[in-house]
Structure 1
Amino acid sequence: MSTTSVPFSARLRAASAGAHEAAESQRYVSALVAGDLDLAGYTDLVVQHRAIYAALESAGDHLRDDPLAGPFVDEALIRLPALEADLAHLVGADWAERTSPTPATVAYVERIREVCVDSPERFIAHHYTRYLGDLSGGLHIGRSVARNYGLADDSGVAFYQFDQIPRPKAYKDAYRARLDALPLDEAAATALLEEVLVAYRHNTAVFADLARHVPADPPADAAAPSRGTETAA
């Protein structure tokens, strides 16, 4: 089948399926969702997100009037204020002095700054990878984090709350329709597809850096209490 007969959003999804699975299967992600981290282990993810979204949303500010990228820049998606509120709750008002991004995050941010402002299609690639993920699996992660780490009333998990998007599925459908309508020649389409894979690789590297927070597996002989040992309910 010719690629021209396949919606571009479907091409993107198919091309990135393996990279998406690789990111989701990282040990850090599994431990985060299962509640196996301490609060500092979750907080470190918020630190990384803040650096990534600061770079991405700065690029978006530069591209608001761009005919290709501008329609994707939507105030309803902006995450930076929520992330900074989360850090103020989790770390304190001086979070900027007490936190720093990992080397993998620094490399991710450098890539965004390097390619996004001068390449609208590559900006769209990073935009798609982050925000469509936030509105899909990210919503599940947010609920799990709030429950498992005792973060009530959105405090510490505001990043996962899209108050201006009450119907995420409808929003994602409209977003994919914008992707399908992009006036891309094959060179620009290829650049966008390739950059999505770059974004996933950076995202996976960030999770790998954060794996230091994952507790070591207990020894096999310590995994279950011995007979006659009383355990708490």
Structure 2
Amino acid sequence: MTTATTEATSISTLLREGTAVAHTEAENASFMANLIRGELAREDAVNLTAQYYFIYTALENIARRGRATNDAVASIADARLDRLPSLEADLAAMIGPNWREEITALPSTTRYVAELETISPDDAPAIIAHHYVRYLGDIAGGQVIARMLEGHYGLAAEELTFYDFSAIGKIPPFRKNYKDALDALPFSDTERASLLAHAQNAFCLNSAVFADLARISPVLQGR
């Protein structure tokens, strides 16, 4: 089913309904499902965090450049959401002071990063689409994931600061304000269509990363 991109549909509804299939596929990827159920290993959680480091380095670079020059991006890309300092702290706690020398971007992560790096700071629909896919999911599902990683793999609080969004206050009102800001964007039908296409692609890029993580998992390799 194709979701209409006319102004009769709010942007938050357009994104939710238009990415539903891709979202479900990413959410139900075997790697993430197995990880959350506690069926993998601590190494898998570390590998996931490492891939996020590369992805968020590129994502937050373009978001930072975009919000400096574009009002639409500035209204969405709240700097309090930035995850890069947390990821650096988590990896230092997980791996040690030389963590940068120990991690490598997987092929799918490299493609994801390359795509983010091609986005212009003036391309508000593309930046906002990628921002929406990652951060809104982090804020919601991330809280559950953090509890599962702690319970199943013994990760300490200092290894899970990526999932700590205390800087934004209570999550439900923040999510509402985020969606209200989306709905207030003065996007044309063409810009809405671009926003949706980029969001769908972002979910596909994430699914590809999960597939690569499954391929290198010390547990899943033998299956």
Query: Shift of the alpha carbon at 1:215?
Result: 2.5
> What is the aligned counterpart of 2:91 among 65, 87, 90?
87
User: 4+ residue stretches of structure 1 with deviation over 2 A?
Assistant: 1-6, 214-219
Q: Is the 8 Å Cα contact of residues 7 and 189 (structure 2) preserved in structure 1?
A: no
Largest Rg, 1 or 2: 1
Matches of 1:57 and 1:192, distance apart in 2: 18
Say if 2:134 is the partner of 1:108: no
Query: Shift of the alpha carbon at 1:77?
Result: 0.3
1:92–1:173 Cα change, 3 Å:
same
**CA-based RMSD:** 1.8
The AA in structure 2 aligned to 1:39 is R
2:19 is paired with a residue whose SS is helix
1:28–1:173 Cα change, 3 Å:
same
The AA in structure 2 aligned to 1:7 is S
Residue 10 of structure 2: aligned partner:
7
Query: Shift of the alpha carbon at 1:167?
Result: 1.3
Q: Is the 8 Å Cα contact of residues 146 and 163 (structure 2) preserved in structure 1?
A: yes
Q: Is the 8 Å Cα contact of residues 27 and 214 (structure 1) preserved in structure 2?
A: no
Say if 2:53 is the partner of 1:47: no
Query: Shift of the alpha carbon at 1:193?
Result: 0.5
Query: Shift of the alpha carbon at 1:60?
Result: 1.5
Residue 196 of structure 1: aligned partner:
199
Residue 29 of structure 2: aligned partner:
26
Q: Is the 8 Å Cα contact of residues 62 and 119 (structure 2) preserved in structure 1?
A: no
Higher helix residue share: 2
TM-score, normalising length: structure 1:
0.89
1:116–1:27 Cα change, 3 Å:
farther
What whole-Å deviation, never above 9, does each CA across 1:90-133 have from its counterpart, x for those lacking one? 11111111111100000001111112524111000000000000
Residue 161 of structure 1: aligned partner:
164
Matches of 2:178 and 2:205, distance apart in 1: 23
Say if 2:149 is the partner of 1:140: no
Unaligned runs of 5+ in 2: none
Residue 222 of structure 1: aligned partner:
none
What whole-Å deviation, never above 9, does each CA across 1:184-226 have from its counterpart, x for those lacking one? 111111100100011001000000000121624999xxxxxxx
Unaligned runs of 5+ in 1: 220-233
Query: Shift of the alpha carbon at 1:2?
Result: 8.6
Matches of 1:216 and 1:124, distance apart in 2: 34
Segment drifting more, 112-121 vs 47-56: 112-121
What whole-Å deviation, never above 9, does each CA across 1:37-74 have from its counterpart, x for those lacking one? 11111100000000010101111221123111112222
The AA in structure 2 aligned to 1:120 is A
